């Protein structure tokens, strides 16, 4: 039984942690909920008990064995060292430590053993990266993926509750003929999309796109893999979608790929497009697996394969993956 803390407990991912820790019967002795000062004093329900939210401070982690962080990069940079110094193992959902060579970056279906190499901190990858590598890894093991081109279609849940609320509020305002407030995103999201997730970098890519490039190489231990990404925000509440094209060293037919996906952990194949049998965000909402469909040979390249990947950003892309890491540690 663990003394567990959740930093960022009142956010949209924090509330998913509460649901999933309960649903998966994670062994918890005491649970501490931490958030900013403005949320302190609120109470959240967990296993039939109302637990008060405390302000996140450097002294919050005394007696804590395991801390889930989902409070953002800057909060993680500030408070994770205090948690580690207090003796807690931290599983951090931000980008703060992902590319630190001393910090394991873990997707349980791919590199579970690296979780035990931690020095107090384990990083949870970017949500878009997680679902892509869950699909890529079995193909890479079977035929060696040389190149990846991915375009993402990322839901508003990636920007937290404020992003989801902005889509709902703009949709209502549009229906009522009112002006649309734009604050959570760089442009109107209702009835629109834009290729702008996170900030732009000097190389012309966004930070989100480079996360997918660099994190994939680290998780899959594939430094030579050529990867390029375009990340797009779309007017969907929850669950990210990705169109993925790969080039492999050994040719993989669609039939072989389906068989590989069907045997891989954490993947559900939904690939009967004539009957609408392909993954969609609406259907994947609140599920745990990574869904793959539209599996087809790329006729423009002799060793090319294209497919479509959808997963719930708040579950597999965030809270679930973190809890799965904790379960690996718990199992020893």
Same domain for 174 and 80: no
Active-site residue 62, yes or no? no
Do 254 and 299 have their domain in common? yes
This prediction has a pTM of 0.95
DSSP codes of every residue in 96-164: SSTT-TTS-B--TTT-GGGGGG-SSEEEPPPHHHHHHHHHHHHHHHHH-EEEEEEEEEE-GGGGHHHHH
> 137 and 112, same structural domain?
no
- 169 and 117 in one domain? no
Within this chain, do residues 195 and 95 fall inside the same structural domain, yes or no?
no
User: Which DSSP state fits 319?
Assistant: I
Axis-axis angle for helices 320-331, 12-23 (nearest 10): 40
**Domain check: are 60 and 199 in the same one?**
no
Whether 196 and 118 share a structural domain: no
CA neighbor of 227 nearest in space, from 295, 293, 151? 151
117/171 same-domain check: no
Assess whether 111 and 136 both reside in one domain.
no
Q: Cα-flanking dihedrals φ and ψ of residue 66, to 5°?
A: -140, 130
Q: Of the candidates 227, 268, 221, which has an alpha carbon nearest to the alpha carbon of residue 244? A: 227
How many other β-carbons are positioned within 10 Å of the β-carbon of residue 119? 11
Q: To 10 degrees, what angle do helices 254-263 and 127-143 make? A: 120
Active-site annotation holder among 82, 127, 140, 231: 127
What domain count does the chain have? 2
**Residue 177 belongs to domain spanning:** 129-313
Q: Are 275 and 143 members of one domain?
A: yes
Instruction: Provide the greatest CA pair distance for the chain.
Output: 61
Q: 107 and 138 in contact (C-beta within 8 Å)?
A: no
Active site residue 240: yes
153 and 283, same domain (yes or no): yes
Residue 13 maps to which CATH number?
A: 3.40.50.720
Reduce the DSSP state of residue 322 to 3 states and report it. Answer: helix
Catalytic hit among 82, 118, 140, 240: 240
CATH of the domain at 169: 3.30.360.10
Looking at the fold, whether 307 and 216 belong to one and the same domain comes out as yes
In tens digits, what is the pLDDT along the chain, a chain of 332 residues? 899 999 999 999 999 999 999 999 999 999 999 999 999 989 999 999 999 999 999 999 999 999 999 999 999 999 999 999 999 999 999 999 999 999 999 999 999 999 999 999 999 999 999 999 999 999 999 999 999 999 999 999 999 999 999 999 999 999 999 999 999 999 999 999 999 999 999 999 999 999 999 999 999 999 999 999 999 999 999 999 999 999 999 999 999 999 999 999 999 999 998 888 999 999 999 999 999 999 999 999 999 999 999 999 999 999 999 999 999 999 98
């Amino acid at each position: 039984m663990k003394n567990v803390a959740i930093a960022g407990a009142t956010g949209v991912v924090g509330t998913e942690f509460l649901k999933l820790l309960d649903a998966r019967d994670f062994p918890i002795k005491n649970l501490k909920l931490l958030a900013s000062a403005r949320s302190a004093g609120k109470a959240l329900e967990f296993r039939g008990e109302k637990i008060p939210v405390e302000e996140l401070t450097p002294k919050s982690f005394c007696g804590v064995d395991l801390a889930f962080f989902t409070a953002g990069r800057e909060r993680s940079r500030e408070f994770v060292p205090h948690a580690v110094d207090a003796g807690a193992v931290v599983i951090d959902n931000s980008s703060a430590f992902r590319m630190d060579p001393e910090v394991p970056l873990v997707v349980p279906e791919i590199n579970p053993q690296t979780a035990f190499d931690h020095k107090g901190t384990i990083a949870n990858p970017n949500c878009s990266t997680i679902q892509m590598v869950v699909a890529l890894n079995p193909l890479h093991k079977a035929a060696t993926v040389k190149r990846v081109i991915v375009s993402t279609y990322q839901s508003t849940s990636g920007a937290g509750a404020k992003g989801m609320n902005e889509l709902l509020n703009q949709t209502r305002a549009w229906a009522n003929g009112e002006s649309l407030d734009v604050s959570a995103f760089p442009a109107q999201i209702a009835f629109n999309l834009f290729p702008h997730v996170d900030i732009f970098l000097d190389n012309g890519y966004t930070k989100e796109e480079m996360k997918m490039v660099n994190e994939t190489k680290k998780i899959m231990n594939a430094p030579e893999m050529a990867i390029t990404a375009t990340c797009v925000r779309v007017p969907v509440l929850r669950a990210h979608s990705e169109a993925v094209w790969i080039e492999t060293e050994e040719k993989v037919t669609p039939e072989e790929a389906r068989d590989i996906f069907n045997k891989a952990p954490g993947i559900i194949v939904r690939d009967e497009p004539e009957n609408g049998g392909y993954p969609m965000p609406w259907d994947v909402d609140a599920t745990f697996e990574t869904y793959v469909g539209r599996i087809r040979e790329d006729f423009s390249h002799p060793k090319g394969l294209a497919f479509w990947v959808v997963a719930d950003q708040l579950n597999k892309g965030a809270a679930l993956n973190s809890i799965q890491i904790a379960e690996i540690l718990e199992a020893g």
